[in-house]
């Protein structure tokens, strides 16, 4: 049987109810997971290691480096696939981070979470883990992806692209959805059936290529600012000592930057603040709408932003992936951020938005 390594980071999938408080807490060890779900050992020789036991909202850039090194170590030791158990709140951030950090990854690295703690009868952890295991063992996929429930029932899980997925519900078991694209595959764990739904990276594509770690500078300060009505210039200038900023633009690519009447004089100040930031750091954009592509050429306010030096026109990255990509570029390609941010490196930018990729 193939060897699969399970790396644990905590989160709900590694949690149980703390009856002293009534709340859920990350407490499981790597051996606890195997005891709870012994059926996964039917598919492969399992190696299980605890990397961290923490809720995913506590993660920082340094943890991405820790995880990338742990993945590299397991691959060098002979693992033919990696499952990474992870909390769901920032699972999509970590999926994107590892996708960028693990350059030329030639084995599957599948992130798995759950929306119900593993000691509950309604847990989705077992199905997600088993589906991820079946996908690794029975497919030729290579790269980083996410495995979570497709819908309310326990029949199917989806394999989702690392850089184009997002948690879209606080509590549903099918909270993760692909954005502007299709899922990679559907896995029916009972029928042991895998149906590929879109193009994907295959192991054969990486013959002769060696895995290379491109890690994060954990000292970087990257901001993420959501545009809204009634904005003030001071909101932008709060980031003046940061290394980079992602702005979630309104609509197709707008900020309130034009004075149109006696109540909008602050908008002129806001535009000046944006231009001041651009002089000192890369300021990139993403669509606040989540779906669709930025096009700042359509309306005059958008063209002001292009002229001001904002980066990312015609991209459709989620804000979270834009945040991770900017941090990774500043860590590894600082001089080329302007050129590379709008270039598709890991499947994070679509050539075109798929019609069936909206709210599926």
CA distances from 79 to 15, 43, 82, 122, 304 (A): 26, 14, 7, 31, 51
User: Percent of the chain at pLDDT above 90?
Assistant: 79
CB 233 within 8 A of CB 269: yes
CATH 3.40.50.40 domain span(s) along the chain: 222-341
> In the predicted model, is pLDDT for residue 97 greater than 60?
yes
Cα gap 28→82, rounded to integer Å: 19
From the list 167, 181, 257, 318, the catalytic residue is 167
- Does 321 qualify as catalytic in the annotation? no
- The pairing of beta strand 3-8 with beta strand 15-18: unpaired
pLDDT digits (tens, 9 = 90+) for 137-182: 999 999 999 999 999 888 999 999 999 999 999 999 999 999 999 9
CB 64 within 8 A of CB 70: no
- Does 289 qualify as catalytic in the annotation? no
pLDDT confidence of residue 119: 62
Token couple for 336: 């080329």
pLDDT digits (tens, 9 = 90+) for 248-265: 999 999 999 999 999 999
- Does 343 qualify as catalytic in the annotation? no
**Which helix (DSSP H) or strand (DSSP E) does residue 81 occupy?**
strand 81-85
Q: If you average pLDDT over every residue of the chain, what do you get?
A: 91
From the list 9, 88, 94, 257, the catalytic residue is 88
| More confident position, 360 or 178 | 178
Instruction: Look at domain 3-213 and name its CATH class.
Output: alpha beta
From the list 12, 85, 181, 315, the catalytic residue is 12
- Does 89 qualify as catalytic in the annotation? yes
The band of 11, judged by pLDDT with boundaries at 50, 70 and 90, is confident
From the list 3, 47, 69, 89, the catalytic residue is 89
SS3 1: coil
pLDDT confidence of residue 250: 97
Span 318-336, average pLDDT: 98
Can you name the CATH fold of 222-341?
Rossmann fold (3.40.50)
pLDDT confidence of residue 356: 63
Burial of 266 (0-12, 13-18, 19+ CB in 10 A): middle
Q: Measure CA 303 to chain center.
A: 29
68 phi, psi to nearest 5 deg: -60, -40
Count of H-run helices and E-run strands, the chain:
9, 17
Token couple for 70: 């742990």
Cα gap 88→112, rounded to integer Å: 8
CATH 3.40.50.1170 domain span(s) along the chain: 3-213
State the number of CA atoms in the 13 A half-sphere of 139 facing the CB.
Answer: 28
Overall pTM > 0.85:
yes
The band of 79, judged by pLDDT with boundaries at 50, 70 and 90, is very high
pLDDT digits (tens, 9 = 90+) for 194-243: 999 999 999 988 888 899 999 999 999 999 999 999 999 999 999 999 99
């Amino acid at each position: 049987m193939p060897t699969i390594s399970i790396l644990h980071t905590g989160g709900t999938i590694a949690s149980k109810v703390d009856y002293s408080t009534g709340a859920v807490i990350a407490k499981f060890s790597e051996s606890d997971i195997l005891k709870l779900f012994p059926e996964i050992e039917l598919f492969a020789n399992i190696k299980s290691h605890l990397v961290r036991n923490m809720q995913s909202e506590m993660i920082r850039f340094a943890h991405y480096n820790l995880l990338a090194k742990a993945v590299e170590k397991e691959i060098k030791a002979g693992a033919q696939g990696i499952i990474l158990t992870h909390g769901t709140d920032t699972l999509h951030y970590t999926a994107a981070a590892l996708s960028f950090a693990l350059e030329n990854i030639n084995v599957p690295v599948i992130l798995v979470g759950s929306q119900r703690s593993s000691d509950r009868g309604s847990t989705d952890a077992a199905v997600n883990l088993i589906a991820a295991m079946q996908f690794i063992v029975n497919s030729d996929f290579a790269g980083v992806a996410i495995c979570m429930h497709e819908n309310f029932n326990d029949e199917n899980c989806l394999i989702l692209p690392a850089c184009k997925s997002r948690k879209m519900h606080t509590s549903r078991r099918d909270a993760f959805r692909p954005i502007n694209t299709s899922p990679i595959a559907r896995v029916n764990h009972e029928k042991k059936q895998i149906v590929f739904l879109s193009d994907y990276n295959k192991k054969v594509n990486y013959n002769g290529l060696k895995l290379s770690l491109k890690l994060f500078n954990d000292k970087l300060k990257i901001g993420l600012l959501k545009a809204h009505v009634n904005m003030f210039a001071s909101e932008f200038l709060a980031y003046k000592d940061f290394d980079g900023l992602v702005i979630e633009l309104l609509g197709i690519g707008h900020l309130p930057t034009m004075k149109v009447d006696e109540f909008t004089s602050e908008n002129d100040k806001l535009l000046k603040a944006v231009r001041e930031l651009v002089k000192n750091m890369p300021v990139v954009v993403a669509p606040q709408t989540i779906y669709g592509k930025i096009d700042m050429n359509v309306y005059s306010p958008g063209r002001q932003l292009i002229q001001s030096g904002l980066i990312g026109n015609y991209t459709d990255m989620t804000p979270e992936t834009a945040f991770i990509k900017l941090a990774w570029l500043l860590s590894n390609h600082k001089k080329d951020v302007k050129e590379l941010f709008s270039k598709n490196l890991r499947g994070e930018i679509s050539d075109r938005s798929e019609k069936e990729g909206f709210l599926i």
